[in-house]
Structure 1
């Protein structure tokens, strides 16, 4: 559906060269809600502007529906762009035009008849819950209502792809939730592929099925949201995940542990079925070792439960190893996060 192959983008301003994107390889499948997350300056907005060719790559390719956008002539490119809707952070509405006319802009540009425009705009305003605001001006709307107008406008030409550039960052949490649910509904009911640029991991958690993490113009990690949330590899990804999923001990607990000898510390990851079964209870019953549960948390991602626990194990080393093997057999991922060496008094 959307594919970037070794795409790079360089800007030169006042004699200074800036590498905004460096060797981006990315694939968005039809029907995905694909999130791209990164801190300010990571290159997210430049990336999404490549997808609809508001920016052309300095190197590499951008393919939509299997064809390189760089091979289109101007007329073909204009037609291709009609298949790609875009929602902006600050709505980009014309303040001098009423809601109806703002939504109608793409249809007017497509030279649709007045009856077609009227029918389509009314249908879209009903879909986004603004049928009663057709005659209002943007200045009379709340931020959430303005974004709904922007979404209706982006859908006017029946695109198969919807790009969202920080579409919720200017909204309060409750309004953000309603807009995200609307995007999810668009994806499901219209079968539109959605690509979301954001700096908020909660947005990724709420509706995305895949995610790419960006830093300094590169993609440093990507995969299914479940994989990335469950097993973040890069430090930046771990920091993003921590904003929505608590997965570490409190500093006071950690500090007290470092004063102890003769123990092993492990982080356990439970996914799906293993998160709802009494696996730790069965392990404690089965092995004569001391188990100290220091932290435990569960969250739901893509309707799948993810669990994290940090445990301290003490006792016979062979029994500890057997207990860890027991956990692994029950589909629990085990990560040793710190070891404490036995001293002579504790052996």
Structure 2
């Protein structure tokens, strides 16, 4: 649905050259809720502006719904942009217009018949739970309600793709949760592919199925949310994951850890149905070892349970080796972390 091939974006102002994007390769499949996360200045917003062609790449190809945007004429680009909805951080509503009129803007610009506009706008206001606010003005709404209006407006022209640029960062946590649940409904009920730009890992955890992590204009890590959360590789990704999942041994436990020649420490990752099994009890029962649980954390990502544990396993070397193999055979990811 969205693809970028070796995309570069360079800005030149006077004698200063800034590389905003450096060789981006990215693919978003139809039906994805794809998250792009990074700190300020990572290049996230530039990337999303290339998708709806508010910015043109300096080099490389941007492909949307099978069409290379670089090769389209101005009229073809305008037609393509109608398939892409956009939700903004600060709502971008017209204060002088009613909620009905704000949602109707794309349809009015497309010169749709009045009856069709009325039917579509009321359908969308029903969908976002604001039918009774049709005659209200933006100043009369809360931040969460304004963003719901923004979502309804973005859906007015029946887009195939919805772009969300920091769409929840101006909202409180409870309102953010309700907006994310609404975006899930948009994805599921309208079959719209969504790309979310954010600096909040909790947003990625809540709704996305895939994620790309950006830093200094590059994608440093990409994959399914479950894999990236479960086993982040890049230091920046690890820092983001730590904001929502405690996944490492506390320093106080490390300091008090008694290291002996007949014990080793392992990081054990279990997900899915296996996470509900008593695998620690099972491995102790099956092998002549002792297990000390140094740390354990359970979380849910994309309706899948993820458990991360740090286990100190003591016993004969051969028994420890067999115990590790037992855990792997159960589907656990096992990695020795302290030797």
**Structure 2 equivalent of residue 34 of structure 1:** 34
Superposition map of 1:3-82 within 5 A: 3-82=3-82
**Structure 2 equivalent of residue 209 of structure 1:** 209
Question: The residue matched to 2:300 in structure 1 has which SS?
Answer: strand
Q: Is the 8 A contact 2:280 2:291 kept in 1?
A: no
Provide the rounded CA distance (Å) in 2 between the counterparts of 1:128 and 1:23: 38
Residues 64-109 of structure 1, C-alpha deviations (whole Å, 9 max, x = no match): 1111011111111111100000000010111111111111111111
Task: Give the length in aligned residue pairs.
Answer: 338
Question: The residue matched to 1:168 in structure 2 has which SS?
Answer: coil
Q: CA deviation at 1:252?
A: 0.8
Q: CA deviation at 1:26?
A: 0.6
With structure 1 as the length reference, what TM-score do the two structures score? 0.95
**Structure 1 equivalent of residue 259 of structure 2:** 260
**Structure 1 equivalent of residue 294 of structure 2:** 294
Any runs of at least 4 consecutive aligned residues in structure 1 with deviations exceeding 3 A, and if so which? none
**Structure 2 equivalent of residue 139 of structure 1:** 139
**Structure 1 equivalent of residue 185 of structure 2:** 185
Question: The residue matched to 2:338 in structure 1 has which SS?
Answer: strand
**Structure 2 equivalent of residue 123 of structure 1:** 123
Q: CA deviation at 1:288?
A: 2.1
Residues 138-171 of structure 1, C-alpha deviations (whole Å, 9 max, x = no match): 1111000110111111011110100000000000
Q: CA deviation at 1:56?
A: 0.5
Determine whether 1:102 maps to 2:138: no
Question: The residue matched to 2:49 in structure 1 has which SS?
Answer: helix
Provide the rounded CA distance (Å) in 1 between the counterparts of 2:253 and 2:313: 15
Provide the rounded CA distance (Å) in 2 between the counterparts of 1:139 and 1:120: 23
Provide the rounded CA distance (Å) in 2 between the counterparts of 1:235 and 1:281: 33
Q: CA deviation at 1:229?
A: 1.2
Q: CA deviation at 1:12?
A: 1.4
Q: CA deviation at 1:113?
A: 1.6
Question: The residue matched to 1:248 in structure 2 has which SS?
Answer: coil
**Structure 2 equivalent of residue 170 of structure 1:** 170
Q: CA deviation at 1:47?
A: 0.4
Question: The residue matched to 1:267 in structure 2 has which SS?
Answer: strand
Q: CA deviation at 1:330?
A: 1.2
Deviates more, 1:52-61 or 1:112-121: 112-121
Provide the rounded CA distance (Å) in 1 between the counterparts of 2:133 and 2:273: 46
Provide the rounded CA distance (Å) in 2 between the counterparts of 1:50 and 1:148: 25
Provide the rounded CA distance (Å) in 2 between the counterparts of 1:157 and 1:330: 49
Q: CA deviation at 1:298?
A: 1.1
Q: CA deviation at 1:287?
A: 2.1
Q: CA deviation at 1:239?
A: 1.2
Provide the rounded CA distance (Å) in 2 between the counterparts of 1:328 and 1:102: 55
**Structure 2 equivalent of residue 309 of structure 1:** 309
Question: The residue matched to 1:205 in structure 2 has which SS?
Answer: helix
The gaps in structure 2 that reach 5 residues or longer are none
Provide the rounded CA distance (Å) in 2 between the counterparts of 1:151 and 1:290: 55
With structure 2 as the length reference, what TM-score do the two structures score? 0.97
**Structure 2 equivalent of residue 343 of structure 1:** none
Provide the rounded CA distance (Å) in 2 between the counterparts of 1:71 and 1:294: 57
